[in-house]
Structure formats: C-alpha cells, structure tokens
Amino acid sequence: MPESNFAGYHVRKWFIQTEDTLANETGALADGEPVRKIVIAAAVHNPYAGRFSKNLDLIVADSPKLGEEFGRRIAEAAADRLIESYGKACLVGANGEYEHGNAFLTAVFADPVRDSVGGGASWVPSTGKRGAPGTTIDIPLAHKDALYVRSHYDTITATFADTPNPDEVVVIFAFATRGRLHARLGGIRADEIQGQDGLH
C-alpha cells in the first residue's frame, strides 16, 4: 500500500477545472454575471482495491479532513465569488467497488465543504461510476440551500486523463456561482428561498 501523504490517504494528484460561460448555446449574452463552474478532484489510493470488506472505515474515518481540504481549495478557486450550487461524484478504478467511491462521499466528508461555501441546507446531488483513465463523468449541480430552485439544475462534465488507476478513486466536487443563463422554466427563484427545509 502506498505511503500516506494526506491524513490517512495517499493522494497522487489534485485537479482543478474552471469554466466561465458568457453566453448561452444560441448566443444570447448572460443575463447578469457569467456562470463560473469549478471542479475540484483528488486521485486517492483505494485501500480496499481488489478485496471485499464489510467495514469501509479506512476510507470514511479521515474523510472530514479530506472535506476540509476540498473546502479550502474551493474557497481559493472561487476568490470573492459566492457559490450557489454544488454536486459531488466519484470515479472508481477497475479493482474497486462503486461502494468504495460512495464511502468517500458521505455527509462527514461533505459537511466541511458546505461550511466553506457558507453552509448548505440542501442535500448534495451525487453520482459516480467505475472506469479507466480518461473516463468522462457528468457531475450534477443543484442550489446549495433549496433543491427546488429549478434554475440551478445543471451539470458539468469532467475528464481526468491519467486517473483512476485500477487501485484509485477520483473524489470530485463541483460548484457554480449561479444558475443557468436565461433559465425560464418557472419555479422558485433563488431570491425567494425560504431556507426552512433544504427544499424550498
């Protein structure tokens, strides 16, 4: 097993991807600020690669520390921009189980990330899959404080050229500074959030 270099994990690489959208797909200029989307990811050794274990504590135990580092990195990447949306995902190498990826994404990992973006009453939309290096994954986004804000249902696509190795998991968190450009399908607006239950 590789030597730990971050808490109880061996992290081989950190990734950051940023995109700014200034106009929508038909060329209409942004109705306000451009959408900035940010992906932060880490290629982490999977201690359970190639074996079954009922207990996944080797992944879960230090995940709050991993979440704190994701939080630090998103605060740095966002600079002074406010984050309105988030989502998380995992890519599991061929020798791992999908469950190993999910073990990295539990609430104890996500809570420090929520704190770093000013809290988040809504659950964090999530996805994942197994794959080889270069596998593409679509990360879902939703408003961090109210899931029913339709304008913030969105996706960002990420690809990592040399990961996951068979014994790795790519842990991924994505963020956006606003909803879709020219969202016009009704529902609760972001400035109408009641903030009571994470839904409205």
Taking only the tens place, the pLDDT of each residue in 13-38 is 999 999 999 999 999 999 999 999 99
**Looking at domain 11-192, does it have CATH number 3.30.1330.110?**
yes
pLDDT at 68 over 80: yes
C-alpha dihedral, 46 to 77 to 132 to 87, nearest 10°: 80
- β-pair type (168-176, 136-143): unpaired
Peptide bond into 166 cis (omega under 30): no
* Cα distance between residue 179 and residue 188, in whole Å: 12
Taking only the tens place, the pLDDT of each residue in 108-151 is 999 999 999 998 889 899 999 999 999 999 999 999 998 889 99
Q: Which residues pair with 154 in a beta bridge?
A: 141
- Tokens of residue 149, six digits: 């804000």
* Domain residue spans of the chain: 11-192
Taking only the tens place, the pLDDT of each residue in 73-119 is 999 999 889 999 999 999 999 999 999 999 999 999 999 999 999 98
Task: Report pTM.
Answer: 0.95
> Using DSSP, how many helices (H) and how many strands (E) does the chain show?
4, 7
- β-pair type (35-45, 154-159): unpaired
pLDDT at 58 over 80: yes
Residue 189: band (very low, low, confident or very high) from pLDDT cuts 50, 70, 90: confident
